[in-house]
Amino acid sequence: MFEKLRQRLGGRPQPVPPKPSPQRWAAPLAVSVTDATFSELVERASLPAVVDFWAEWCQPCQIIASYIEFLARDYAGRLVVASVDVDENPQTPQRFQVMGLPTLLLLDQGREVGRIVGVASYAEIQEQVERLLRQPNC
């Protein structure tokens, strides 16, 4: 639209920069798990895991969701990063006694080794993840 207007007014066309490749800029996403897939994708994983328990109606969960994407990108290949919608999958949060949202569980070989309830800074989350990765089994 602006290019046509510029031509009508006598201006020269401006070069259009190339669009970046979507694959080049796409960050790996956290894996969405359900009650049915939790055991296979998280507990039996060969890597330690961070699991985000969230709900669509939860405002603080939206903040943590962006941190989860950062974790998935920053720790790709070293950590399983997963999310569980508690409204759609009530069994898993009940099993882990998730009482508040958002809740991040840190798991090593399917065993809970840490928990963050509520909003924490990305630096605090990273600190706990680094502690998890330093454990002997990781």
- Annotated active-site residue 138? The verdict is no
Among 45, 58, 63, 133, the active-site one is: 58
Is residue 34 domain-resident? Answer: yes
pLDDT band, very low/low/confident/very high, at 104 (cuts 50, 70, 90): very high
**Structural domains of the chain, count:** 1
Token couple for 108:
């090593």
Higher pLDDT, 27 or 96: 96
Residue 39 sits in a domain of what CATH number? Answer: 3.40.30.10
Annotated catalytic residue 61: yes
Model confidence over 13-58: pLDDT tens digits?
Answer: 555 444 444 443 344 579 999 999 999 999 999 999 999 999 999 9
Which residue in the list 42, 51, 61, 64 is annotated as catalytic?
61
CA dist 99 → 53, 67, 84, 107 (Å):
10, 20, 14, 17
Domain that holds residue 45: 28-133
Residue 44 lies in a domain: yes
